[in-house]
Amino acid sequence: MDNQSDTKHPQDSSSSLETSQSTSVTLDAYSQQSDSFYQDWLDSQCSLIDGAQSALVLAPLDEGDNTYHPMALWPQDSGVLMDLHGLAEEIITNRSALVTALPASVPGHEVFAIGYPIFLDDELIAVATVAVAVSSEQQLKRAMQLLELGGSALEVLKLRLEKQQRSAKDASLERSIDFLASVQSEPDYASSAMRLVTELAVMLNCDRVSLGNYQKGHSKVLHLSHSTQFGKRMNLIRCIEEVMDEAIDQQQSVVYPNPDLESSSVVIAHAKLSQQQGDAVVLSVPLYVANNIVGALTFERNPDIPFTEQDVALCESIAALVIPALEDKRLNDRALLLKVWDSGKTQFSRLFGPGYLGRKLLFILSAILIIFFSVAQGSYRLSADAKLDSYIQRVIAAPYDGYIHSAVHRAGDVVKKDQMLVQLDDRDLHLERLKWLSEEAKLNRQYQEALAFHDRAKLNIINAQQTQIKAQLDLVNSQLERAKLLSPFDGLIVSGDLSQRLGGAVQKGEVLFEVSPLHFYRINLLVKESRIADVLIGQDGILHLSALPETPFEFVVTKITPLTEAKDGATYFVVEASLQGESLQLQPGMEGVGKIYIDERNLLSIWTREMQEWMRLKVWSWWG
């Protein structure tokens, strides 16, 4: 019979068999890794293929696993195991069906190894290989078709199995969520823990469920199902605690009795508890929160109802979901001092224990800065808002009611001493002066006539009138002199602008100009009430004005006034200081910040002085 194009003879597959020796696949290994799901399918498939002599199925153990393991073998004493395994490896590599010839063991027949890859959504889920003895090419094709059809059936069975597994997981998750909701509904930790163990006992049909807390290397039973009180020294309680410690030490769930686990798990304490309780079945599950052991759950059941793998998985699922919430409740129910103590220990261990490098560097840097600023000395300068004012300011006021004739200068002009600032209209004054001069001449003639007639009474009257007229003339002359208002000294016109009032009337005493001397200023500093005790007359300081921030000006404190000002909800004292030196750029009214040098002090005390004083006042107001 002619072979197909993809058929391989035994001598061609010798290299494949040699490469497969590294796996050392034996009949015992196959039987140990077989799966009943794949085995049942393989048995039914081989019963349909005429001439089937041996068969093998390779599949991943877990979803997403790229390693394929023997899952089913038919029959159990196959003699062509290595040939089938080699063909399966080639199919995995090529991802296509293959046929290879094998040595014939049946007279008149040829033996072929046929293999078919089984895909599910483009994922290779299994490889089936069958050794079949055929007498014709049609029989070989028939066997290949049956294997292909069987692969489709395996896909359906696989989907059904995955659906069942998902349904089981959903049911387990639903139970876990119900447990979480019931635990969270309780007001405190004790009620939540008691409800957890009681409902677990009812759901799993357990005689007793125990919850323990793990601290200082030892478990302590806190709650028993269906029991709110129990003796602290009971032998049963001590035995349960030993069972919990045994499971925690092994970091895995332990079931006793369980022949599959006895060889790999230590079950001394479990066996002791089982004997005490009449050969009860015991399951212990360690509890973790954020990879830290916090306790354990112990389940005791009637020996007629052993724990299955599904029961263990369900208990672990419930514990993984519920215990973190239960642990949060336990921590929140602790006393405040205990919370503070535990938090302090945690931070201390993080600071001085392994890890947390950033926190350690920050602590070292902070310690260095605190030590440095605790011993370092610096200049204590008191900062205050400052305003520049003229040291002397002269008011130029209207000497009488009149009219403005001319005004040459205005605010901002620099004037010399005796330089005219404003000229009042003096025409009325000149007329009035002429009037009084004519009156004076008239009285002089009358005086001469009375003197000629020796009229003493009239002479006395004329003398009095002359004195009156002289006074009026003196007044008019004085007003004429004051009609020209002059600068009293070299200075700067601070305020006043009459250029827009020429010809306008002014009243006696009305302020027309304000003049201050040049380069002669004083500084008004607003010192906060809490700092006024540090200020003394004669202290030096530096002033920086907003208009000239790059230029420092030195000053000396000259007076501490009792005047206060309210600003931004605080009280400030006005401190006067004299400016040292001169500058053509200075103008009255400039504002800035002045700093008074007090003394040399510790830097930390300088920066924390306000906080220290505030604390002293608060403490004194509370307990003073």
Segment 14-44, tens digit of pLDDT = 333 333 333 333 334 343 334 577 888 888 8
Mean pLDDT of 114-130: 85
pLDDT at position 264: 62
pLDDT confidence band for 107 (50 / 70 / 90): low
Q: What is the DSSP letter of 113?
A: E
Cα→Cα distances 1→7, 110, 112, 126, 378, Å: 12, 8, 12, 30, 107
pLDDT confidence band for 108 (50 / 70 / 90): low
pLDDT at position 66: 77
Closest CA to 493 of 578, 419, 556: 419
pLDDT at position 379: 87
Mean pLDDT of 268-282: 88
- 581/320: higher pLDDT: 320
Work out the number of other CB atoms within 10 angstroms of the CB of residue 354: 7
Mean pLDDT of 180-188: 78
Least confident range of 184-188, 202-206, 543-547: 184-188
Residue 2 in this model has a pLDDT that exceeds 80:
no
pTM value is: 0.47
The structure tokens 């040291």 sit at: 391
Residue 342 in this model has a pLDDT that exceeds 70:
yes
User: Strand pairing of 402-407 and 394-397?
Assistant: unpaired
Contacts of 597 (CB under 8 A, 6+ apart): 379, 380, 381, 539, 540, 541, 542
Residue 210 in this model has a pLDDT that exceeds 80:
yes
Q: Which residues pair with 219 in a beta bridge?
A: 214
Alpha-helical regions (H) of 498-545: none
- 493/624: higher pLDDT: 493
Q: Give φ, ψ of 347 to 5 degrees.
A: -65, -35
Mean pLDDT of 42-61: 86
Would you state the structure tokens that stand for residue 56, as one six-digit string?
A: 């093998």
Query: 512-540 pLDDT, tens per residue?
Result: 888 777 777 888 999 988 888 889 999 99
- 413/271: higher pLDDT: 271
Q: Report how far Cα 612 is from the mean position of its chain's Cα atoms.
A: 29
Give me the domains of the chain, ranges plus CATH numbers: 7-164 (3.30.450.40), 186-333 (3.30.450.40), 394-515 (2.40.50.100), 520-623 (2.40.30.170)
Residue 80 in this model has a pLDDT that exceeds 80:
no
For every residue of 313-348, DSSP letters joined together read HHHHHHHHHHHHHHHHHHHHTS-HHHHHHHHHHHHH
pLDDT at position 230: 61
Q: What is the mean pLDDT of the chain?
A: 81
